[in-house]
Amino acid sequence: MIKQLLGEHKINENEVFNLLSSLSETGAEYSDLYFQHSVAESWVLDEGIVKDGSYNISHGVGARCVSGDKTGFSYSDDLNIKAIKGAVDFAKGISNSNSSKDPEILKTINYPTKYAALSPLDSLTSKEKVDLLREINSIARKEPKVVQVSASLSGAYTEVLIASTDGVYQIDCRPMVRVSVTVIVEHNGRIEQASSGGGGRYDYGYFARNSLAETYTKEALRLAFVALESKDAPAGKMPVILGSGWPGVLLHEAIGHGLEGDFNRKGSSVFSGKVGEKIASDKCTIVDNGTIANRRGSLTIDDEGTPTQETTLIENGILKGYMMDKMNGRLMNKPSTGNGRRESYAHIPMPRMTNTYMLNGKDHFEDMVSSVEDGIYAKNFDGGQVDITSGKFVFSANEAYLIKNGKITTPIKGATLIGAGDEVLHQISMVGDDLKLDPGVGVCGKDGQSVPVGVGQPSLKIDMLTVGGTQL
């Protein structure tokens, strides 16, 4: 698709090389071009009727020159050669470098792919897509307490061509699908809402092959019914057990961002300059892994053409390194770890997470629970806020329970977890053997850019954490 589109504008590999040569005339240490073509759709069913939908096609190119820590960048949503040359001239015009440097000969490397290079939008007919959403509605409506059901199906297919002055000439074809379910239930005048869903780099058949319409719907119902029974959460400092899977979003936000290269190069992260130091409990090993097949956060290559990898960030409590893109890696004398990511051709890349999670420990969930006299079990998370510089966070638990005398008891609502990432790492005393990754719903925001990510963890025990509650 991307080659055909460029071919229509008579842009071949030689022309791309010439454009890179023009970008390099200012003597930039590094320059690149990022061509992108994307097709995306969404279907929304509400009250058994398809009430909303969209279909979008977009394409464009971003041109970038990098000199030291300064970047010249421009983009065009028109792929004719005149428009691209205009973007190139603008980018190199603000790069503030004086000498000239020729680009390396372009070469393509066949890296092992992490997903099929097929558009998911064609994997079901329009009728089959609507039938999938109606199945969700039908399953949910069997429960008499359900008063409203909303379901959505979305898919996208993106092809990118990345060419750079260090010789990269790579194409990547990236599918993405997602299903979301929201139910509202009512009982004795009390109304609660809950959501579920998932996806990844698959075609739409992934949902049918694994009966996921039913799985997601039943999970949304389960969460809603738990909420109907919940009591106000207590407040104070207490032991907290975090569930496996999606609660890894706390690690992503409160710790993962602080391990991205740009924050550490600038010295603005609480983890800056601490490689080789003990920053966590020796039970903690945390990795960022962009190589897991079909995962939402996975990439065959990052948005600078570097193959993704599994990067150990923390090993047995010791900080091992940071996530790098090319620019920050060069400035810190480190190689890129395949974490250069951008939202689209209209954005510059920066160090971003892919799939970030804590590895399994040796503790059993039952032993964690039995070790707590008075605390809470936060099984599922909702939204949260984080100060990346300090690692301080506030997260809401949308499914949580009291732990009394070593047993999980009453469901609670309104529990918020308050702390700082670097402090929490030292408070982890037990790490479970039940690692799970999230179902494929993560979206990460940074500097106005959003990218798909994955999170995960085994269940773990934090010895002491501040819980903000609603109990009077």
Q: For the segment 38-76, what is each residue's pLDDT rounded down to a tens digit?
A: 999 999 999 889 989 999 999 999 999 998 899 999 999
- Which of 381, 353, 380, 383 lies closest to 453, judged by CA? 353
pTM here? 0.95
Per-residue pLDDT reduced to its tens digit, 186-220: 999 999 999 999 999 999 999 999 999 999 999 99
Domains belonging to the chain, first-starting first, are 2-229 (3.30.2290.10), 232-468 (no CATH)
Q: What is the mean pLDDT of each run of 10 residues along the chain (472 residues)?
A: 82 95 87 97 94 94 93 95 95 70 92 96 96 96 97 98 97 98 97 97 96 97 97 96 96 94 95 96 98 98 98 98 98 98 98 98 98 97 82 93 98 95 95 98 95 98 92 60
Specify the pLDDT at position 4.
84
Specify the pLDDT at position 10.
86
Structure tokens at 324: 């790098």
Specify the pLDDT at position 387.
86
- Which of 170, 177, 176 lies closest to 36, judged by CA? 170
Strands 236-242 vs 374-387: parallel, antiparallel or unpaired: parallel
